[in-house]
Amino acid sequence: MKFLIYRYDPESDKKPFMQTFELHSKDVQPGMMLRDALLKIKSRDETLAFRHSCGEGVCGSDAININGKNGLGCLTALSSLKEPIEVRPVPGMPIIRDLVVDMSQFFHHYRAVKPWLIVHDSEPEVEYLQSPEDRDKLDGLYECILCGCCSTACPSFWWNPDKFRGPAALLQSYRFLADSRDQATEERLEDLDGPYRMFRCHTIMNCTNVCPKGLNPSAAINNIKKLMVKDMV
């Protein structure tokens, strides 16, 4: 099985290049994932740098660009990929080394949407109650693992990385706007108003097409827009 892997060490390489690696059929077991293949390759060339941790699609650390589409190495079966398998870092992000990118800007936007419950009333004695129906409204929102596949697939995020919050942060914003226990709707909507933070979304839908958890950031952004219109009436 043939792999073309993006290599770049800013300390020693003048520019990035694609390096070819081959795995023999005896190294490739049925059901093997791309992350397993990268680990095998790394056991031969320990200078190859990539992030990974859980191997289960939970930690979100191994977002990479696979044959031109963002995804998680641990959830991508080798059998689903055409050869040569081209592996690159997710696009539009500063490269630290090889497949490892600097996620600082991404997490800056995540923190900026205040991804926690904001309650102005005094705290209840025991817990914040929520009806099962209201809890159901959070399905499809809370499952985000912050891998960044969506935001780094979004041209608006590539062009305005410092101003546009990006699909992942906006999905998180809607996750709290949709939460019946949250009392910061106005502040949250006000913060997203203006030409960049949310309205830079042009519904290109790359975010929804690549989400490895099957979530729909584009619909969440649309729902925020609807809340804004409602807020104005």
The residues that touch ligand FES, with contacts defined as CB under 6 A, are 52-55, 57-62, 72, 74
- The smaller minimum CB distance to ligand FES, of residues 34 and 207, is found at 34
Q: Helix H segments across 93-166? A: 104-112, 132-136, 155-159
Least separation in angstroms between residue 147's CB and ligand FES is: 6
Least separation in angstroms between residue 78's CB and ligand FES is: 15
- The smaller minimum CB distance to ligand FES, of residues 57 and 91, is found at 57
- The smaller minimum CB distance to ligand FES, of residues 147 and 192, is found at 147
Rounded to whole angstroms, what are the CA distances from 221 to 56, 57, 77, 107? 27, 24, 30, 18
Least separation in angstroms between residue 169's CB and ligand FES is: 19
Least separation in angstroms between residue 72's CB and ligand FES is: 4
Least separation in angstroms between residue 113's CB and ligand FES is: 22
Residue 87: CB atoms within 10 A of its CB come to 26
Asked if 161 and 148 touch (Cβ cutoff 8 Å), the reply is: no
Q: CA-CA distance, 119 to 74, in Å (whole number)?
A: 37
> Sign of the CA dihedral 104, 105, 107, 108?
positive
- The smaller minimum CB distance to ligand FES, of residues 39 and 138, is found at 39
Asked if 105 and 152 touch (Cβ cutoff 8 Å), the reply is: no
- The smaller minimum CB distance to ligand FES, of residues 60 and 166, is found at 60
